Amino acid sequence: MVLVRGQEFPRHAASMTTLLIATSNPGKLRDLASAAASSGIQIAPIPGFSSLPAVVEDGLTFEENAVKKAEAYSLCVPGEIVLADDSGLEVDALHGAPGVHSARYAAEDPQHAGANADDKANNARLLRELKDILSEKRSARFVCVIAAARDGRILGTFRGAAEGSILTAPRGSQGFGYDPLFYFPPIGKTFAELSPEEKANYSHRGAAFRKVLEWFREAPR
């Protein structure tokens, strides 16, 4: 989620230089900072984000969750523009799973009942689910949806995606989440083999955030 300082977003868009990100996820912060690097806009976490009321992400789609978070968190900061994101991995052989459950995929696995779904556990479950699936049938995509809201009213949504496939073993030490398993054919690497700057050029989150930046530039004054 991104909180933009300033009461009137369209009127002051040209003068804004900092976007505050309401997340404690260092991977998301790196991704967004890299995507914003060439725009002259700085990325920083919102101070005290952990003290805000948590929003239950029970939507059936990335759009529903992003919208729900943007609406709820924008009510916590009257007059401010809030951008909330929801993102994850869709694997065709798994009928779109893990999808909106990407961050907690292993927590839904009976073998990890009650455990936190960290990246290692999520990746392990994904590999188990795909162990009998041939390489040509392991197509997948990363999806990110960012929703913008002010005072509980949605102003717009921005979607980005990256098409690839799931490997049989992790590669690379960069990134986070499913990045080590997500192979991106146009460059012949996994997302975990990319620098933050390279990942910003190809990732789902980078694509969605570039649409946000375009909105910044084109919003009527």
| 170-173: Cβ within 8 A, 24+ apart | 170/123
Bridge pairing between strands 18-21 and 42-45: parallel
Residue 99, CA distances (Å) to 65, 120, 155, 190 in order: 12, 17, 24, 19
Catalytic residue among 31, 58, 85, 86: 86
Strands of 26-181 (E only): list them. Answer: 42-45, 81-91, 139-150, 153-166
31 is catalytic: no
Name the DSSP class of 134: -
Q: Catalytic residues, which ones?
A: 86
